[in-house]
Amino acid sequence: MKETRQGLLLGLGAYVLWGVISLFWKQLSGVNAYAIFSYRILWTLVTMLLYMFLSKRQSIYKKQLSELLADKQAGRNMILASFLIAINWLSYIYAVTNQQATQASLGYYVMPLVSVLLSLIFLRERLDRWTVFSVLLAAFGVVILILNTGKVPLITFLLAFSFAFYGLIKKNVKLSSDVAMLVEAAVIAPLALVYLFFFSNESLFDYSLWENILLMASGFITAVPLLLFAEGVKKAPLNLIGFIQYINPTMQLLIAVLIFGEAITLGELRGFIFIWLAVFVFIMGQILALRKGR
C-alpha cells in the first residue's frame, strides 16, 4: 500500500509538471518555435547522457542499446516513434508560443480516447459500451467544434494522434524510458542541427541571457517528468495512474485561459462540454471495470 501511494505521488508529480510546462515554453515566445524545438532535442540528448553517466547503470544501458541495434524491427519502431514524439513536441511548443494553448489542452483530453480507438483498430482489443460511448461523444464534440469555429483544430489532432500512435508503437519496444528518450533525442538530433546551422536566421547571440538559460534547461524540463512517471508506474498499477492523467490537460486549460488570457468562444465551449462528458464517461467505465475485476 505504501509503495502504491508512492507510485501515485510520483505519477501525480509527473502530470503536474506536464500540466504547468506551458508556463516554461511561454517564456520563450520571442524565440522561433522550430529553434526552441531544436535546442530542446539537443539539450535533452545532453541531459540524458549526463543522467546515464551519473546513474552508474552503464552496463544495463549498453545491454539495452546493443539489443536494440540487433533487432531491426525494434530499431525501425524506435525511428518511427522518434519522429512521432518530435511532431508532438514541436506542435505543443508552437501552440503555446502562438496563443493556441487551449487547443493543446484539448489534444491531451482527447488523446486517451484516440489511444483506445487505435487499440481497437490495430490490436483488435474489445471495447466495452462505456468506452464506445465515450469515443462517440468525443467525436461529436470535435464535430461541434469544427462546425462552430469553421476550422479543423489541427493542433488538437496533431497532439492527440501523434502521442497515441507513439504509445501504440512503443508497446512493441522493450526499452526503459530513459534509454528510449536518449535514442529518440539521438535520432532527431541531426535534423535539429541541420535546421539550426542551415535554416535558422537566429543564433544564441540573438537571444537574451534568460532565454539562453531556459533553452539549456529545456532538456532537464523534458526529462524530469518522464523519469518521475517511469518510477511511478513501477510502484503503482498503470490503471490507477491513468485516472489522474487528466490533471495535465485541466491545468493546461486553466493556465491558457486564466494566465495566458486565451478566450473560449461559446461554440468552442459547446464542443468542450461534449469532450469533457466523454472523459467523464470513460473514467466511469474504467472505475466500473476495476470494481468488477475485484
Q: Is the pLDDT of residue 290 over 80?
A: no
pTM, rounded to two decimals = 0.92
Helices and strands of the chain, counted as H and E runs: 12, 0
Q: How many domains does the chain have?
A: 1
- Domain assignment present for 227: yes
pLDDT of residue 8: 84
Q: Of all residues in the chain, what percent carry a pLDDT higher than 90? A: 61
Q: How far apart are CA 268 and CA 265, in angstroms?
A: 5
For 33-69, the DSSP string reads HHHHHHHHHHHHHHHHHHHHHHHT-HHHHHHHHHHHH
- Domain assignment present for 251: yes
Q: Is the pLDDT of residue 76 over 90?
A: yes
b/e map 61-75, b = 16+ CB within 10 Å: beebeeebeeeeebe
Q: How far apart are CA 160 and CA 150, in angstroms?
A: 20
Residue 3 parent element (H or E): helix 2-26
Give which of 186, 168, 181, 166 is closest to 81, Cα–Cα. Answer: 166
Least confident range from 36-40, 84-88, 208-212, 266-270: namely 266-270
Boundaries of domain holding 103: 2-124+154-262
- Domain assignment present for 144: no
Confidence of residue 203 (pLDDT cuts 50, 70, 90): confident
Q: How many CA atoms lie within 13 A of 88 on its CB side?
A: 21
Conformation bin of residue 99: beta by default, left when phi > 0, alpha when psi is -120 to 50:
left
Q: How far apart are CA 8 and CA 6, in angstroms?
A: 5
Q: Is the pLDDT of residue 285 over 90?
A: no
Residue 7 parent element (H or E): helix 2-26
Cell matching residue 102:
487551449
Average pLDDT over residues 66-91: 95
Average pLDDT for the chain: 90
Q: How far apart are CA 189 and CA 28, in angstroms?
A: 20
pLDDT of residue 193: 97
- Domain assignment present for 219: yes
- Domain assignment present for 203: yes
Q: Mind listing the pLDDT tens digit for each residue in 164-201?
A: 999 889 888 888 888 999 999 999 999 999 999 999 98
Cα–Cα–Cα angle for 20, 228, 28, rounded to 5 degrees:
35
Q: How many CB atoms lie within 10 A of CB 76?
A: 11
- Domain assignment present for 133: no
- Domain assignment present for 173: yes
Q: Is the pLDDT of residue 114 over 80?
A: yes
pLDDT of residue 217: 97
pLDDT of residue 205: 83
Cell matching residue 42:
539537443
- Domain assignment present for 138: no
Q: Mind listing the pLDDT tens digit for each residue in 148-171?
A: 888 889 999 999 999 999 988 988
Confidence of residue 56 (pLDDT cuts 50, 70, 90): confident
- The gap between the terminal CA atoms of the chain, to the nearest Å, is 16
Least confident range from 39-43, 115-119, 196-200: namely 115-119
